[in-house]
Amino acid sequence: MTGLSPIIVPAGTPDPDPPRDRIADRVHMARAIRLAAQGLYTTEPNPRVGCVIVKDGVVVGEGWHRRAGGPHAEPIALAAAGDAARGATAYVSLEPCCHHGRTPPCTDALLAAGVARVVVAMTDPNPLVAGSGLDRLRAGGVAVDQGLLEAEARRLNPGFIKRMERGLPYVRVKLAASLDGRTAMASGESQWITAAAARRDVQYLRARSSAILTGVGTLLADDPSLNVRLSPTDLPGLGLDEAVRQPLRVVVDSRLRTPPTSRLLGLPGQTLIACLDPEADGLSSDNPETHLTAGPHLTPFPTASRDREPDQPISRELDRNGGPHARLEAMRERALRLEAAGAGILPVPPGPRGLDLETLLRYLARMEINEVLIEAGATLAGSALQAGLVDELVLYLAPHLMGDGGLGLFHLPGLERMGDRLALHVQDLRKIGPDLRITAVWGPCVLPPSGSPG
């Protein structure tokens, strides 16, 4: 499997002599989770869910959720099972929904089919469900068990879970470096550090992400595409005639320096440019919709300048003294040009280092963005790390050295003592072609005893 941490099913230490039915439960739930993984690249913004229907020890139906607005896993599995679903057991990787959304409640479908028992890996963190689905099933006379292979099920939907529980997307930082930790030569040259296999692997990380976030420095230096360049045949769960979903591209650009001719603005998919709010009073984490307009774009500046003739330069309206009014109007000018090129513009209040990244991420969560992939330089990556906004690091190490004059991985001011280190736990380590891929999450950092070598 490329581009993602492995889903390990089943996990944990088995009972010394587990009952036969418990073994069967684990086998069928493991199958449900594997089915759910088929939606890794397709279900956004919904969670990935799988379902298996079993009667008298035989699988009579199974299904997985493919796309938002399409049928959920449970109705698909029930349809496959037909009359055999009556009196059967349903294994579902996520609690069945009990509310009307894009589709009818799955609890109603299970009750109507006469399912006798439902086993779920985890409750749904969505406040609209949050245990109510299981209560509805119990009230209908269905036996319910929960918590089987919960860790594996949670690992499948980290973004959906974090967005529901904390109002933030799950954030990965992807970086590529030489063995001496350099991301570019002293001259700034950086293409290519890793081999083709690692660069292709990154495409799978992009494909599972809801948004890709970069900084204006990276954009100006590299003019990246930040798109998914895989075909439907490369991605499990996609049909030959289905389009590959392009993640939202987000550029952190405090002063709107992004050129309207940037490559990413001419590609399929949407681009959002986050800038500093020049008035710093219209957007907060509690009210990020303040600057939304009715159209597909965002507007940071309510201004009569939008009513001017297309060929009338805003510069004629600027304050001749070059004061705050002139700077505000210059931002309006750049915003209008970028919007004309197809970008959405989002003003964000200032934070300790540039614009407030947490406010930006909370806004993305309200856009139903589950997983964000940061592909940026040392400054933005370091700011996100030090703000505690990063959940996972994916680091590709290439087997060469680039010298101490090259650019580093992170800009992390203030780390002066061993006790200041940012502690990580390596979750996965594997070779991708000639390069090494390290996946790490936050974990304990144990200092060696005083006087110990190393």
Q: Return the active site residues.
A: 74
The single-letter code of the amino acid at 33 is I
Side by side, which strands form the sheet with 89-92?
58-64, 50-55, 89-92, 117-120, 143-146
Angle ∠(39,226,361) on CA atoms, nearest 5: 75
Please, are residues 396 and 384 in contact by the beta-carbon 8 Å criterion? no
Residue in the structure block whose two tokens are 């009972």: 15
